[in-house]
Structure 1
Amino acid sequence: MKISDIKTYRVKIPLREPTQFSWDPLPNTHFEFALIEVTNNKGTKGYSATQFTAQTEVAIRGLKPLLKGLDVEDFLANDRLLELGSWFFGRVGAIEVALWDLLAKEENLPLYKLFRGNRKIVKVYASTGRLAKSEEIIDLVKKYYDMGINVIKIRFHRTNIDDDLNIVKGIRKEFGEQVRIAIDANQAWGLVPPFWNRRDALKVAKELERYDVEWLEEPLFKDDIEGYMWLRRNANVKIAAGELEHNLWIFKRFIEENALDIVQADVIYSNGINECVKIALLAQINGLLFLPHAWDPGLGWLANLHLTASLPESLTPYLETPLDPLWWFNDVIQFAFKKEIEIENGYVRLPEKEGLGIELDMEKIKKFII
């Protein structure tokens, strides 16, 4: 099966209301992503999507002469090609995912079954993104709980750390132990202060010990492996990171240096599904959890869902799902889907159609191509 063409479409959709996330310098009025389309010599098409629009367009321009006429299986089996593509062009995971979608369609299998997965449903955790006021967050958590979701991730990025901690206190006071809380500090990247140092991260981690949180995510800059090692030694809170990395050897060092409790590679942000499976295996043999990051355009979130379903539940018990604002999951994540995936009692069911399992509404997409 040969690759006959590969192209990308830049899609920009309006948001229901201006939305500013903890990592944003300004509110967003639109959401932009790149839709990747790969066609084989039989006319079958595979898709994926990524927010790294400019990088992906450059990558496809650079790789297209090499990919056209190449056997799909040969590309997917060539780790060196993926790694060098990532080095030259940035992240190539979205291209790899589109090829897996294509291959699974040719095999007439949903993607997770192509990877020998057998989980029909996957538990989700609700991922917030805004630095909303305490009352609004409590109201959101109530809605999540009514949906059957009892693992909630909130953002810590307020100017005063005590204001962050008061959010946790409020959730604990309202829900007790019924809701499990995770914290994302967003210190790995971003242009918006505050920027924590190691002492700030340790102070927060020590405070969070009192509230029995599930994990503290990205409390330090993404490349500060020594800092993560130091923090993990000195705090009794699980430390999570890795969503921004896209090289197996970086993950290998994080894991072997005992810098993390939870590894968060993303099939779109990394070099793809093959790499994430290897990272998950490294996490498993070192007694760690593997919880993929999944704040992606719909097909990216969907690819991480298939990855999760292909891994043991003990290793990857649930999947991040953006639900803040509450309409984000349907309006943005599932914008291009003809049929939406529903959250039922805290779980999503794996689509059983071939490939990623979702039919795209191409007529709707074409209205927003720029």
Structure 2
Amino acid sequence: MRITEVEPILLRGDRAYRAAAGAEEATDNGDWQLLVRVGTDEGLTGWADAETLAPAAVAIIAGQSMGIMGFRTLSELLIGENPLDVERLWDKLYVGSAYYGRRGVAMQCLSAIDNCLWSIRAQAAGMSLARLLGGRRRDRITAYASTLFRETPEAMEEAARGYVSRGFRAVKFGWGVFGEDPGRDRELVAAARAALGPDRHLLVDPGWYPVGWKTPGPMRSRRQAEALCDWLADYDVGWVEDFIHPERFDEYAYVRARSPVPIAAGEQVATIWDFQRFIGEGCVDVIQPDLSRCGGVSVATKVAGLAEQAGIDLVPHSWLTHLLTGYSLQLIATLPRARFVEFNVSQSPLTAGIARASFALDADGAVPIPDSPGIGVEVDLDFIRAHRVN
């Protein structure tokens, strides 16, 4: 079997990332979305999404290569290769893009391609990705609703009650207006905890800009980060997430050693080498590789091994389309210990329309993990054709 196509597909939507003023749902990145399709001469196809600067990613995957190794496009490196040689191809892509890549947009494109190759490998074996990776340890997992902070305590309460009525046993509020007013921050968290009650999990993602996501500003100091963890503990927060600059490993380790609240992070860490440092230096209680950013399934499975050795939990970051949810669920199925899957309830019409999946909550707030060949998620080709711009 040989790779015949590596296609970046650029989709355009009409919604911007935004937090909601009232209790209505927030919106994820609904303006641009990149998909990657890898095709083979035997008809097997892998699909994946990538959360990145989508227009730039198209050139990295299928633009113009240069003559020297290290400056090649990813498609040129892959055409004609055997898609089953996933680990070898990861190394080839990493070295072949080394002078413009290694992290950032190039790594996010590499991640999507790696995911596609693992999907093809599972389809070729006639089994789900989880079984290919070593076997299913579970067939369902508790989902947490992942959304943005609302602007008022009243809106927070109404939104939280809505997630309870839908059956969620856990909710994560992130970013939005959080960080603009310390007094309001506490009121918003207090309102969420009151509405969720004592038996449901409340998770908080403050973002690593203290003035919110709209305007980049100075990072939190150590004193501010410690103080944030201290008062969040008053509301029985299950974890505080990604609230320190992602490259400040020393800062994470310092705050984690003093925090009364578990620390979760890792969505912006990439390559196994950086995860080795991040986990080895004691930065987190919950590691959160994002399979569309970290290096794909090839890296995430190695991170799972590191997490098991360190005695920490792994909960993938998966705030994107159902494709990313599908890959994350397959990884979760293989873990010795698993807590949650992140469920993006803030999907825009663009991210929601790309893939079809029946991720419905059961009575306990869990979602089933597909066991069909590949990842158990199908793309909507008509929707993709209607929104494609390249």
TM-score by length of 1: 0.89
Match of 1:102 in 2: 120
SS in 2 for 1:343: coil
Counterpart of 2:79 (choices 48, 55, 68) is 68
Q: Work out whether residues 143 and 343 of structure 2, in 8 Å CA contact, stay in contact via their aligned partners in 1.
A: yes
Q: Indicate whether 1:192 and 2:215 are aligned.
A: yes
Cα deviations across residues 96-153 of structure 1 (Å, max 9, x unaligned)? 0111111212222122222222422121111112443222221221122222212111
| Counterpart amino acid of residue 273 in structure 2 | W
TM-superposed deviation, 1:8: 1.2
Displacement of 1:78 in angstroms is 4.6
- Under a length normalisation based on structure 2, what TM-score does the superposition of the two structures give? 0.85
Among 104, 107, 110, which residue is 1:90 paired with? 107
Q: Does 1:132 align with 2:154?
A: no
Partner of 1:344: 362
Q: Does 1:306 align with 2:321?
A: no
Structure-1 separation of matches of 2:351 and 2:362: 17
Specify the SS of the correspondent of 2:215.
coil
**CA–CA distance in structure 2, aligned partners of residues 29 and 75 of structure 1:** 30
- Please name the residue that 1:33 is paired with: 33
Distance (Å, rounded) in 1 between the aligned partners of 2:374 and 2:148: 29
Q: How does 1:134-173 map to 2 (within 5 A)?
A: 134-155=153-174, 157-173=178-194
Match of 1:273 in 2: 297
Aligned partners of 2:314 and 2:207: how far apart in 1? 18
Q: Distance in 2 between matches of 1:309 and 1:289?
A: 14
Q: What is the identity, as a one-letter code, of the residue corresponding to 2:229?
A: A
Report the Cα offset of residue 298 of structure 1. Answer: 2.5
Check whether the contact 1:83–1:247 (CA below 8 A) recurs between aligned residues.
Answer: no
Helix, strand or coil at the partner of 1:294? coil
CA contact (8 A) 1:131 1:158 kept: no
User: Residues 31, 307 of structure 1: CA spacing in aligned structure 2 closer, same or farther, 3 A cutoff?
Assistant: farther
Amino acid at match of 2:13: I
Structure 2 residue identity aligned to 1:20: R
Find the partner of 1:247 among 255, 262, 271. 271
Question: Is 1:20 equivalent to 2:18 in the alignment?
Answer: yes
Q: 2:309 aligns with which of 285, 291, 302?
A: 285
Aligned pairs for 1:325-364 (under 5 A) are 328=347, 331-345=349-363, 346-364=365-383
Q: CA deviation at 1:71?
A: 1.2
Between Structure 1 and Structure 2, how many residues are aligned? 358
What's the counterpart of residue 181 of structure 1? 202
Q: Unaligned 5+ residue runs, structure 1?
A: none
Deviation at 1:225, TM superposition (A): 1.0
Which amino acid counterpart does residue 69 of structure 1 have in structure 2?
Answer: G
- Find the aligned partners of 1:96 and 1:28 in 2 and give their Cα distance: 24
Deviation at 1:338, TM superposition (A): 4.1
Matches of 2:58 and 2:304, distance apart in 1: 28
Render the CA deviation track for 1:5-62: whole Å, top value 9, x for unaligned. 11111012334xx65149xxxx989432111111112122111111322343233220
User: How far apart, CA to CA, are the structure 2 residues paired with 1:203 and 1:133?
Assistant: 22
Aligned CA distance change for structure 1 residues 82 and 137 (closer, same or farther; 3 Å): farther
After superposition, give the CA deviation of every residue in 1:305-344 in whole Å (9 maximum; x if it has no partner).
21112212x2x211111223xxx38x45441234543223
Q: How far has the Cα of 1:264 moved from its partner? A: 0.6
8 Å contact 1:3–1:41 — kept in the other structure? yes
Q: Does 1:111 align with 2:126?
A: no
Q: Match of 1:14, SS? A: coil
Following superposition, the deviation at residue 219 of structure 1 comes to 1.8
Classify the secondary structure of the residue corresponding to 1:307: helix
Residue identity matched to 2:194: K
Instruction: Please state whether the residue corresponding to 1:181 is helix, strand or coil.
Output: strand
Name the counterpart of 2:66. none
- Structure 2 counterpart of 1:235, from 259, 265, 274: 259
Please report how far the alpha carbon of residue 356 of structure 1 lies from its aligned counterpart in structure 2 after TM superposition: 1.9
The RMSD of aligned alpha carbons is: 2.4
Could you give the per-residue CA deviations for residues 239-294 of structure 1, whole angstroms, max 9, x where no partner exists? 11110111211111111111111111111111011211111111111111111100
Asked if the contact 1:202/1:231 (under 8 Å) is kept, the reply is: yes
- Structure 1 Cα separation of the partners of residues 300 and 28 of structure 2: 30
Q: Which residue identity is paired with 1:187?
A: W
Q: Residue 378 of structure 2 aligns to a residue in which SS?
A: coil
- Corresponding residue of 2:387: 368
In the alignment, the residues of structure 2 paired with residue 28 and residue 339 of structure 1 have an alpha-carbon distance, to the nearest angstrom, of 18
- In structure 2, how many angstroms separate the alpha carbons of the residues matched to 1:125 and 1:29? 19
Q: Within 1, Cα distance between the matches of 2:228 and 2:254?
A: 14
Q: Which runs of 5+ in 2 are unaligned?
A: 21-26, 63-72
Conserved? CA contact 1:34–1:51, under 8 Å: yes
For residues 161 and 313 of structure 2, what CA distance do their matches in structure 1 show? Answer: 27
Give the letter aligned to residue 192 of structure 1.
Answer: T
CA contact (8 A) 2:11 2:388 kept: yes
Which residue, out of 333, 345, 351, partners 1:323?
345
Identity fraction in percent: 24
Query: Does the 8 A contact of 1:296 with 1:333 survive in 2?
Result: yes
Alignment partner of 1:225 out of 243, 246, 249? 249
